[in-house]
């Protein structure tokens, strides 16, 4: 079912109250990769990749470690998170640059004439026009914001946003590992189901052959032959279904880890049963709250939003700026005169047409929209209540 552009999996065991924020187990067939992901979209980036390798002749022997390593290089969701982190780093550098001195050099060559009449000097007895003249300048310039509270809060907000993007990238890495390992194990399970279905079909076929022979020799009623034939056909159908499921799961694994679609492969790591460690809900919830990267990212984004609100409010405060330049001016560069200029500027906003108020309201709305940190923590608690294997 699709709601507001998002795909939501439904089934016989699902409740009608489930939403896109309801935790759910991993299943590539149902387009889910993260039990507590906020956005389960119709095109899940963690179920796609950017294949970069070439098709290997023959059948590729694929181990679990190789599948995970390949997914971490080519998975689309992880690539997107890396790009988001690069953008957040660029935003932080841009915010820092406003607090650092801006230093440059400039040189000019100026040719002009001066029309004195345009300055109202007709009655002063000066020439009407000062003929063409020129001068040259070479200066070093400095611009420094001494006091700018808004810029300080912008730097803090961008630092928190970069911290959030780093945590999101770590969370994306965990999701890629989860997706690739789960898909690998799903293929292994599908292969086992196919082998089981084939064994059941072979058994049903043998029973059908035996009962057919017994019916021919009047040792069994014909109804037994009909039942055996139906059982054999059902087993054959299960083989077909298991084969189709295996191919679908292999295709999902191919998409997740970035193998070329034409590449044939076989898995080398088999399934081994290991009993899970004893789980204590309180301990698991404590570890999840402490170590889950999505919780860290949500908390950092909330801090960034609060700093953005403070930055918008700081627009009402005065700012102090220093501008200076020094160098040489003359008719030629060989005969210059040294000059300099130092300027201190204080800016005090008095009336801005309620623009600052609008900026503050917009920033507060962003900070208050759903309280992302507490909502994510609540989803972690929901996941722990009866579903500890989701964390």
Query: Is residue 257 packed enough to be buried (19+ CB in 10 Å), middle (13-18) or exposed (0-12)?
Result: buried
Nearest to 391 by CA among 282, 269, 302, 298: 282
Q: Which CATH superfamily is domain 100-147+318-347 in?
A: Outer membrane efflux proteins (OEP) (2.20.200.10)
Q: How far is Cα 59 from Cα 264, in angstroms, rounded to an integer?
A: 5
Model confidence pLDDT, tens digit, residues 152-209: 999 999 999 999 999 999 999 999 999 999 999 999 999 999 999 999 999 999 998 9
Q: What are phi and psi of 330, to 5 degrees?
A: -170, 175
For domain 2-96+150-272+291-317+354-390, give its CATH number from 1.20.1600.10, 3.10.129.10, 2.40.50.140, 1.10.10.10: 1.20.1600.10
DSSP output for 81-144: HHHHHHHHHHHHHHHHHTTS-EEEEEEEEEEEEEEGGGGT-GGGT--SEEEEEEEEEEEEEEEE
pLDDT (0 to 100) of residue 378: 61
Q: How far is Cα 356 from Cα 316, in angstroms, rounded to an integer?
A: 7
What's this model's pTM, rounded to 2 decimal places? 0.74
CB within 8 Å of 84: residues ≥ 6 apart: 165, 168, 169
Q: How far is Cα 91 from Cα 106, in angstroms, rounded to an integer?
A: 28
Given a cut of 50, the residues of the chain with pLDDT beneath it are 1-24, 35-41, 388-391
Residues of the chain with CATH 1.20.1600.10: 2-96+150-272+291-317+354-390
Q: How far is Cα 309 from Cα 25, in angstroms, rounded to an integer?
A: 37
Model confidence pLDDT, tens digit, residues 120-135: 777 777 777 777 788 8
Q: How far is Cα 223 from Cα 242, in angstroms, rounded to an integer?
A: 28
The shares of helix, strand and coil residues in the chain, as percent rounded to the nearest 5, are 55, 20, 25
pLDDT (0 to 100) of residue 28: 58
């Amino acid at each position: 079912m699709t709601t507001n552009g998002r795909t939501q999996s439904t089934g016989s065991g699902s409740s009608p109250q489930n939403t896109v924020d309801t935790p759910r187990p991993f299943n590539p067939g149902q387009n889910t990769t993260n039990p507590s992901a906020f956005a389960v979209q119709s095109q899940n980036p963690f179920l796609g990749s950017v294949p970069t390798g070439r098709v290997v002749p023959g059948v590729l022997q694929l181990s679990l470690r190789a599948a995970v390593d390949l997914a971490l290089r080519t998975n689309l969701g992880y690539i997107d998170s890396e790009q988001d982190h690069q953008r957040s780093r660029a935003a932080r550098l841009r915010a820092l640059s406003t607090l650092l001195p801006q230093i440059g050099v400039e040189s000019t060559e100026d040719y002009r004439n001066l029309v004195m009449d345009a300055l109202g000097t007709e009655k002063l007895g000066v020439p009407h026009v000062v003929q063409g003249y020129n001068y040259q300048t070479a200066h070093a310039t400095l611009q420094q914001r001494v006091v700018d509270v808004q810029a300080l809060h912008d730097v803090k907000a961008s630092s928190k946003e970069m911290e959030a993007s780093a945590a999101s990238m770590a969370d994306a890495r965990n999701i890629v590992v989860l997706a690739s390992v789960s898909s690998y194990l799903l293929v292994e399970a599908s292969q086992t189901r196919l082998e089981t279905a084939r064994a059941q079909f072979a058994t049903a076929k043998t029973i059908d052959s035996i009962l057919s022979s017994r019916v021919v020799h009047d040792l069994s009623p014909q109804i037994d032959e009909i039942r055996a034939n139906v059982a054999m056909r059902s087993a054959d159908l299960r083989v077909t279904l298991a084969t189709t499921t295996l191919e679908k799961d292999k295709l999902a694994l191919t998409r997740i880890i970035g193998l070329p679609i034409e590449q044939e492969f076989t898995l080398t790591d088999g399934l081994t049963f290991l009993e899970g460690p004893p789980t204590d809900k309180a301990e698991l919830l404590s570890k999840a709250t402490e170590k889950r990267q999505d919780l860290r990212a949500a908390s950092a984004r909330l801090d960034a939003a609060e700093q953005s609100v403070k930055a918008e409010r700081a627009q009402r405060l005065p700012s102090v700026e220093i501008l200076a330049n020094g160098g040489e001016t003359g008719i030629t560069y060989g005969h210059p005169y040294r000059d300099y200029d130092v300027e201190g500027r204080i800016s005090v906003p008095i009336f801005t047409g309620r623009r600052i108020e609008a900026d503050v309201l917009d920033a507060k709305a962003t900070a208050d929209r759903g309280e992302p940190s507490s909502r994510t923590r609540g989803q972690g608690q929901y996941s722990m209540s009866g579903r500890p294997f989701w964390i």
